[in-house]
Amino acid sequence: MEPDREPTNSVQLQDSFSFEGPVRPRNYTRRKALNLFVKGLLIVAAVLVLYPVVDILYLFAYKGLQVISISRLIETTAGAASFNPHAAGGLANAILGTLFIVGLSSMIAVPLGVFGGVYLAEFSNDNRFSSIVRFFADVLAGVPSIILGYVGFLVLVLRFNLGYSALGAAIVLSVLMFPYTVRATELALKRVPNGIKEGALALGSSKTTIINRLSLKFALPGILTGILLSLSISVGETAPLLYTAGFSDYINWTACCHTQIGYLTYVVFTFYTIPTTNAIDLSYLATFLLILIVLVINIVARVGLRRLSRDLESRI
Amino acid sequence: MIAEELEQEQNSGMTLSDKSVKVDEPLQPSSDRLDSVGSRGRIDITDLSVFYGHLQVLKNINLAIEPHKITVFMGPSGCGKSTLIRTLNRMNDNVPGFHVTGSVTIDGVNIYSRGVDPVLLKLRVGMVFQKPNPFPLSIYDNVCFGPKIHKMTKSKAEMDDVVRVSLQKAGLWDEIKDRLKESALKLSGGQQQRLCIARAIAVRPEILLMDEPASALDPGSTTRVEDLMVDLAASYTVVLVTHNMQQAARVGNKVAFLYRGDLVEVGQAPNIFENPTNPLTEKYISGKLV
């Protein structure tokens, strides 16, 4: 039987437990229980993380869908916040203002950020200057936006005499977006396989040719992800805009200067304190629209860009 | 015709400065250049030492590499053979701390002299790497990448010709002629490597550097790439790095054995394996050198 075939083994093992019956370590029950406990803890943590998001989405979707109407999307806030119980009005000026400011700011932040990222990844050779740039980009990402807003107020609104304007707001927002676009571009370019760059170099390509024809193509999904992330952050900014954009009840396409412009976060920030039903409804609607915009941007970033990067790997 | 002109040029005793202009001359697109190179593409390495910062990687290398021959650099890992081959087309220029003493001349022009543009140099000295590195583009776009960025063709038809001839020379045309628009990444490893060879010869170089081109391939693909090297040697100067001695013996004309940055021995291919003169070479060949 067994002991004859493996004498040494069985002698050693017989000290701790016998071969008969199921093999069961002494601390088996404790281990099992601990395992269950930790698993439970992790699930609770996951639910706690998920709960606020679901709650926010539910509350504002519920409220938002109650107060949404065509007229509230196409009318402006002019007179909407008055104490007249029959006041009407909508968010058209705020919606268009938000899109205008964010569009303007990405026109500044995207090219600058992409060029900066290309410099850091491809031309800096990791010199001292580039590590300083990288450090300040990271610090900038952590600076409270209200401070950026105040600096924008002092420098742009007062010193450069832009007044409250879409341009001042866009410049401050672009400073806010800059770290994300720079770092996303740099990281995406650094992920381009070295073999591909060497292959192109060996064909007599200049650095610019390699970046233009191969690296940027390869890095595109990563760069777009960074841009979209920075967009969704800037859509939700309030403090910098309070300092630089002012607010206007009217639709206003003027970028510069001394012309105030409306935006959604202002409505969220102020209208809920006005004790009329219409103002509070508009504040709920503005919140709902902001969440919707951020959600759409994130879904595009995740689904659309995943498909793009898969295409890049399989097709071209 | 062109071959004759090139030969005359070789024998006319031009001064160094005249020739350094020739290194920089843009290649004239001409359809027969792909097939005839003449006797250009001779490399002379004189007292070459290579440093990375303070580390000396190659010590006083002297070697002549002849056109239409396969010259093999062989040696254990870290002996400097890859550094040496990358020094021949200035691929190391961007490595921090890289500098050379001595000279590498191609057809009489020192490629490290001031008038030489490393970009134009790479047009004359193509390279194939250890790991196949096709671009994430179509097969066609991979091959035409070089000719396109250097604007070497005047028409689409001419480009089609360049792509076809390059793929034919790389022995890949018959397998993939119907799927030129497909992604190069869909090809097998061996096909990818032959595509990289086609891509390298599409810019009509005179010299082809191959840094362990078969070491990541299966035996069947290795044989195909080796056969291809022998074919290519008819038109190009081929420099091969390998640590596979059987491969060196099968395809090499001239074999250089490097060890710890020194050029230990240079010999003709069958001889060096049968009667190595240096004891180090003998140890390496018999597998005793670690």
Residue B100 counted as domain residue: yes
A204·B133 Cβ contact <8 A: no
Residue of chain B whose alpha carbon sits nearest to that of A216: B136
Q: Which of B119, B135, B150 sits opposite A214 (nearest CB)?
A: B135
Task: Find the mean pLDDT for residues A71-91.
Answer: 81
Quick check: A316 pLDDT over 80? no
Residue A75 counted as domain residue: no
Residue of chain B whose alpha carbon sits nearest to that of A210: B149
Residue A160, domain extent: 93-314
What pLDDT is recorded for position B52? 92
Residue B244, domain extent: 2-12+37-285
Quick check: B257 pLDDT over 60? yes
Residue of chain B whose alpha carbon sits nearest to that of A194: B133
How many Å lie between the alpha carbon of A102 and the closest alpha carbon of chain B?
34
Q: Which of A204, A206, A316 sits opposite B137 (nearest CB)?
A: A316
- How many other C-beta atoms are found inside a 10 Å radius of the C-beta of residue A166? 29
Query: Can you give the length of chain A in residues?
Result: 316
- Residues near A276 by Cβ (< 8 Å), separated by ≥ 6? A81, A82, A83, A84, A85, A87
Residue B92 counted as domain residue: yes
Quick check: B2 pLDDT over 60? no
CATH number at residue B102: 3.40.50.300
How many Å lie between the alpha carbon of A130 and the closest alpha carbon of chain B?
16
The count of domains in chain B is 1
Residue of chain A whose alpha carbon sits nearest to that of B185: A314
Stated as kind and residue range, the H or E segment containing A113 is helix A92-118
CB contact, 8 Å: B116 with chain A?
Answer: no
Residue B28 counted as domain residue: no
What pLDDT is recorded for position A49? 93
> Which residue, among A122, A198, A203, would best test binding to B if mutated, counting the most B CBs under 10 Å from its CB?
A203
A-B interface: how many C-beta pairs under 8 angstroms? 66
Residue of chain A whose alpha carbon sits nearest to that of B196: A199
Residues A48 and A5: their CA atoms lie apart, in Å, by 56
A203·B145 Cβ contact <8 A: yes
Residue with tokens 């107060």: A67
Mean pLDDT is highest, among A76-80, A264-268, A299-303, for A264-268
Residue A56 counted as domain residue: no
A199·B129 Cβ contact <8 A: yes
H-type alpha helices, chain B: 2-11, 16-24, 81-87, 118-124, 139-149, 156-169, 173-176, 189-201, 219-232, 245-251, 269-274, 279-285
The count of domains in chain A is 1
What pLDDT is recorded for position A89? 84
DSSP string, B180-245: TTSBGGGS-HHHHHHHHHHHHHTT--SEEEEESTTTTS-HHHHHHHHHHHHHHTTTSEEEEEES-H
Which chain B residues are within 8 Å of A203, Cβ to Cβ?
Answer: 122, 126, 145-146, 149, 199-200, 203
Task: Find the mean pLDDT for residues B42-53.
Answer: 92
CATH number at residue A143: 1.10.3720.10
What pLDDT is recorded for position A21? 61
CB contact, 8 Å: B98 with chain A?
Answer: no
Residue A264 counted as domain residue: yes
Pairing relationship of beta strands B43-52 and B98-106 according to DSSP bridges:
antiparallel
Task: Show which residues on chain A lie within 8 Å of chain B, measured between beta carbons.
Answer: 125, 193, 195-196, 198-206, 209, 213-214, 217-218, 312-316
Contact B216, B189 (CB under 8 A): yes
Residue A229 counted as domain residue: yes
Residue A198 counted as domain residue: yes
Interface of B with A in 162-191 (CB under 8 A): 183, 185-186
Residue of chain A whose alpha carbon sits nearest to that of B147: A203
Point out the least confidently predicted range of A87-91, A183-187, A280-284: A87-91
Q: At what angle do helices A145-152 and A166-190 cross, to 10 degrees?
A: 130
More confident residue, B69 or A4: B69
What pLDDT is recorded for position A311? 64
Task: Find the mean pLDDT for residues B252-277.
Answer: 88
Task: Find the mean pLDDT for residues A118-122.
Answer: 91
Q: Give burial (CB, 10 Å; 0-12/13-18/19+) of B144.
A: buried
Residue of chain B whose alpha carbon sits nearest to that of A310: B136
B136·A198 Cβ contact <8 A: no
Give the confidence band of A304 by pLDDT, cuts at 50, 70, 90: confident
* Percent of chain A with pLDDT strictly greater than 70: 90
B119·A204 Cβ contact <8 A: yes
Torsions phi, psi for B48 (to 5 deg): -80, 125
Which chain A residues are within 8 Å of B131, Cβ to Cβ?
Answer: 195
Residue B251 counted as domain residue: yes
Point out the least confidently predicted range of A203-217, A237-251, B32-46, B60-74: B32-46
Residue with tokens 């005047």: B154
Residue A103 counted as domain residue: yes
How many Å lie between the alpha carbon of B135 and the closest alpha carbon of chain A?
6
Q: Give burial (CB, 10 Å; 0-12/13-18/19+) of B12.
A: exposed
